[in-house]
Amino acid sequence: GENVEQHPSTLSVQEGDSAVIKCTYSDSASNYFPWYKQELGKGPQLIIDIRSNVGEKKDQRIAVTLNKTAKHFSLHITETQPEDSAVYFCAASIKKNSGGYQKVTFGIGTKLQVIP
Amino acid sequence: DTEVTQTPKHLVMGMTNKKSLKCEQHMGHRAMYWYKQKAKKPPELMFVYSYEKLSINESVPSRFSPECPNSSLLNLHLHALQPEDSALYLCASSQPRDRGYEQYFGPGTRLTVT
């Protein structure tokens, strides 16, 4: 099955600096890569995603890049703010199932702390 | 509206109790999921319902019993749980794969088994 590795497990940055979280996946059939932000006491929130026919996607201060050849994808947060502090999970999913659902494999998570 | 609601927010139960967790979405999604999340770990898939039929059971113990009464509702019935079952239980929903990929999570139910 799919295996997703994520690093670093913890990341501290000064407010205003950039943060980068990297993930690798094992199954070349994976074609959908969402990123989730989970704040303390809350459920994961989808913040951005990318599909395998796209190399980069940006939404304001957040961007995600995908290198299919290397099976790498990364989350970039620019101009970090204290409210960006949370746990971030990368994930990978394969479209090939025909059951009308997505089986998502998560990375272990990165705890991001933005220091004011 | 991309909201998945879950009730209750917190639940404390003894090992001999029977309780149920409830999840609801009104986005027209036809796939619904139960996940279990332990502290400092990623969500772990338990069950998937697609078009109100159980599609995946990730070898979950029978003390957890899912139910999907209709396309908007998902329940998780709990019976004779163990203290190690204490965790955050998350519900999620998604559209069929040919209509989109996004999976949306609810806020979770924090379960404590005493």
User: Per the CB < 8 Å rule, is A99 touching B94?
Assistant: no
pLDDT reading at A97 higher than 60: no
A54 and A66 Cβ atoms separated by less than 8 Å: yes
Chain B CB contacts of A108 under 8 Å are 41-42
Sign of CA dihedral A73, A53, B94, A63: positive
B51 to chain A: which residues are within 8 Å by CB?
100
Residue A34 has a pLDDT of: 95
Contact A101 B106 (CB under 8 A): no
pLDDT more than 70, % of chain A: 96
Q: How far apart are CA A51 and CA A33, in angstroms?
A: 6
Q: Which of B41, B50, B105 sits opposite A100 (nearest CB)?
A: B50
pLDDT tens digit string along A79-92? 999 999 999 999 99
Q: What is the residue-averaged pLDDT of chain B?
A: 93
Mean pLDDT throughout B1-24? Answer: 92
Distance (Å) from the alpha carbon of A44 to chain B's nearest alpha carbon: 6
Measured between CB atoms, does A90 come within 8 Å of chain B?
Answer: no
In angstroms, the first-to-last Cα distance of chain A is 41
Phi–psi pair at A84, nearest 5 degrees = -80, -10
Output phi, psi for A32, to 5 deg: -140, 130
Which residue, among B29, B5, B12, has the nearest Cα to B106 in the 3D structure? B5
DSSP per residue, B21-56: EEEEE-S---EEEEEEE-TTS--EEEEEEETTEEEE
Q: Are strands A86-94 and A104-106 parallel, antiparallel or unpaired?
A: antiparallel
From B17's Cα to the closest Cα of chain A, the distance in A is 25
B23 within 8 A of B8, measured Cβ to Cβ? no
What percent of the residues of chain A are helix, what percent strand, and what percent coil, each to the nearest 5? Answer: 5, 55, 40
B43-68 tens-digit pLDDT: 999 999 999 999 999 999 999 999 99
Q: What is the pLDDT of residue A52?
A: 83
Across the interface, whether the CB atoms of B42 and A95 are under 8 A apart is answered no
Provide the pLDDT for residue B97: 60
| Range with the poorest average pLDDT among A11-20, A22-31, A96-105, B45-54 | A96-105
Give the Cα separation of A90 and A21 in Å (integer). Answer: 9
Which of residues B95 and A109 earns the better pLDDT score?
A109
Q: Residue A41 pLDDT more than 90?
A: no
Looking at chain B, the whole-number percentage of residues with pLDDT higher than 70 is 93
pLDDT value, residue B1: 60
CA distances from B23 to A43, A91, B69, B94 (A): 13, 23, 11, 13
Q: Decide if A76 contacts A18 (C-beta within 8 A).
A: yes
Identify the sign of the CA torsion A22, A28, A29, A31.
Answer: positive
Copy the structure tokens of residue A21: 């979280």
Task: Tell whether B31 lies on the interface with A, counting CB pairs under 8 A.
Answer: yes
**Confidence band, pLDDT 50/70/90 cuts, at residue A99:** low
Distance CA A94, CA B30 (A): 18
pLDDT > 60? residue A106: yes
- Confidence band, pLDDT 50/70/90 cuts, at residue A95: low
Among A43, A97, A100, beta carbon nearest to B90:
A43
Helix or strand run (H / E) with residue A33: strand A30-38
- Contacts across the A-B interface (CB distance below 8 Å): 69
